[in-house]
Amino acid sequence: MTKTALITGATGKLGASIARHLGGLGWDLVLTSRDALRCDPLAAELRTAGATVHCVALDLLNEQSTETLAARIADTGVSVTHIVSNARSLDTLKVGDQGVSHPQAFLDEFSIDVVAPYRMIMQFVHDPRHGLKGVVAIGSQYGEVGPNPALYEGDLSSSPVQYGTAKAALHHLTRELAVRLAPSVRVNCVAYGGFVGRTDEAFQERYARLAPLGRMLEPGEAGGPVAFLLDDTAASAVTGHVLVADGGWSIW
């Protein structure tokens, strides 16, 4: 069977990096974004490099969009074998006065990270037109440890509490699904550290002093851990695992 990976949130920095890495390894790809047209430039780049790519709209805060994704893809004749659950939204990370998170932002972040991916994955599991074998969720170091005040100079308002809380739930959802979908589907997670490109230089310097590797992660480093966990030969014995790829951030 052709190896076909669905990547949610494919137009973001990590999603695009993962797509490029998997495309280079010979995977067929299904890319999603809230607006499918946003996937076109990346899809064109990947097709030029020889990959087979399909683009589909997906809004994880829209129940119909989430619940019909598996059927919509199958209706085009594409069978998904692996899922990379990567989608995120900066809108759900907003905080209010004194750094207190808004209730709806908290609920929406939890939905995007946990509830909607769970529902989406189960649609693929139960649709016989797909042959799901593996899932990799994209977590975070903040699903494993709390934020370090030294990184934020004592002001944690830029590290929304709903983010780490939802990622911690996602890490446990990984273990739950690994049990419930065994032995036919392996379910794992990658807990990444911080990536360059989203913060100013002062933040990067503080981060470097606090991380064993002495730096933030580069976007090009995102694909390797995912590719390993998706590999049904190399990672055949790995399920329910949260692979921490954070430059050592969470070991001290």
Render 145-191 in DSSP notation, one character per residue: S---TTTTTT-GGGS-HHHHHHHHHHHHHHHHHHHHTTTT-EEEEEE
SS3 48: helix
Render pLDDT for 104-138 as a digit per residue (tens, 0 to 9). 999 999 999 999 999 999 999 999 999 999 999 99
DSSP, res 128 = T
Domains of the chain: 4-244 (3.40.50.720)
Joined tokens for residue 212 = 């064993």
For the residues 147-173, what does the mean pLDDT come to? 93
Percent of the chain with pLDDT over 70: 100
Q: Evaluate if residue 53 carries a pLDDT over 70.
A: yes
In sequence order, what are the residues at sequence separation of 6 or more whose Cβ sits closer than 8 angstroms to the Cβ of residue 109? Answer: 89, 92, 93, 160, 162, 163, 166
**Can you name the residues that pair with 30 across neighbouring β-strands?**
6, 54
Q: How confident is the model at residue 95 (pLDDT cuts 50, 70, 90)?
A: confident
Task: Give the residue with greater pLDDT, 22 vs 153.
Answer: 22
Tell me what the mean pLDDT of segment 19-24 comes to.
98
**pLDDT tens-place string over residues 167-215:** 999 999 999 999 999 999 999 999 999 999 888 999 999 999 999 999 9
pLDDT of residue 99: 77
Whether residue 173 contacts residue 226, with contact meaning beta carbons closer than 8 Å, is answered with: no
Q: Which DSSP category does 213 fall into?
A: T
Q: What is the DSSP string of 7-42?
A: ETTTTSHHHHHHHHHHHHTT-EEEEEESSGGGGHHH
- Identity at 50, one-letter amino acid code: G
Side by side, the strands of the sheet bearing 186-192 are 53-57, 28-33, 4-7, 82-85, 134-140, 186-192, 242-245
CA distance 86 to 144: 17
Identify the helix (H) or strand (E) that includes residue 245: strand 242-245
- Which tokens in the block code for residue 131? 């042959």
What pLDDT does 51 receive? 97
Please give the average per-residue pLDDT across 52-60, as a whole number. Answer: 98
How far is the CA of 218 from the CAs of 33, 158, 198, 222, in angstroms? 22, 21, 11, 8
How high is the mean pLDDT of the chain? Answer: 96
pLDDT > 70? residue 58: yes
pLDDT, position 1: 63
pLDDT at 65 over 90: yes
Residue of 246, 72, 39 lying closest to 145 (CA atoms): 246
pLDDT above 90 for 93: no
C-alpha–C-alpha distance, residues 19 and 38, integer Å: 14
Q: Give pTM, 2 decimals.
A: 0.96
Among 55-59, 98-102, 194-198, which range has the highest average pLDDT?
55-59
pLDDT of residue 21: 98
